Amino acid sequence: MKKSTVKHINFYSKILNKTMGINVYLPKEYDNMHPLPVLYFLHGRSGDETILTELKIDEIADKLIEQNKISPLIIVCPRIENSRGINSSPTCKEILSPGDSGIMINVGRYEDYFIKEVIPFIDQTFYTIPTKNGRYLGGISAGGYAALHNSFRHQELFSKVGGHMPAIELTLEPEDIPYFQDRAMWEKYDPITIAKNNMITKELKVYLDAGNHDEGRFYEGCKFLHKILKEKGIESQNDVYEGHHNIEYIQSNLEKYLIFYTNH
């Protein structure tokens, strides 16, 4: 009996000038040799590509496919480090976050790395549907923020986007400053500002959610963004589920997320 597989790839990024990890879930149906849609799923702060197996996304996908609740798909979890997925610096480097958190952040051309290197590499390496109708983008926390701004800024690439407890902030916070040169650069990547000031294609479907006890109160940013999207006629859903800002919250809702991405 055929089984699904998870492949780990050491990918050398010319843009970042270093090797980055990518984990790829291939369903057992992959060998049937028909192109499959791809979900890119971005990790949160201090995470990496191993969320694919740590969150048991592969096992949940297997179960839902077996139960005919979702269609087969490829799931790609690329490492984006603690970068927020933005082009924050011409050169890639690691710096200490302000304050006493002791957290290291990564600056560099991470948007270009994801858009110009990772996606073309996946399309060239695997049997994908290489159009926006077969390409979805989601993420958790800082990865949810990255998913939203990347989909809004590159609407020609994605047909669905999910921000799951996404780190959408209503104001520029001190800890954000190392990522952004000025407020204009912050607004360039802020999903709320992008949605407010730019046309968002009605072909893009949006899923927002956060826990009712989210310590970052990111449900507030989701509510604000959802209102803007609905006013513009974008198909958007915004849910507040039981939970905190943690892995347990994501795990408890992963089935809902996968159903959103795969069902039409």
Sorted by where each starts, the structural domains of the chain and their CATH numbers stand as 5-262 (3.40.50.1820)
Count CB atoms within 10 A of the CB of residue 124: 9
Q: How far is CA 235 from the centre of its chain?
A: 18
* DSSP annotation of 117: I
What does the block give as tokens for 148? 């939203």
Q: What is the mean pLDDT of the chain?
A: 94
* DSSP annotation of 81: T
Q: How far apart are CA 45 and CA 173, in angstroms?
A: 16
- pTM assigned to the model: 0.96
Reported as a single tens digit per residue, the pLDDT across 7-28 is: 999 999 999 999 999 999 999 9
Contact 160, 70 (CB under 8 A): no
Q: Does pLDDT of 250 surpass 80?
A: yes
Reported as a single tens digit per residue, the pLDDT across 208-233 is: 999 999 999 999 999 999 999 999 99
Count CB atoms within 10 A of the CB of residue 89: 17
Q: How far apart are CA 108 and CA 91, in angstroms?
A: 5
Least confident interval from 147-161, 180-194, 236-250: 180-194
Torsion of CA 224, 255, 205, 46, to 10 degrees: 60
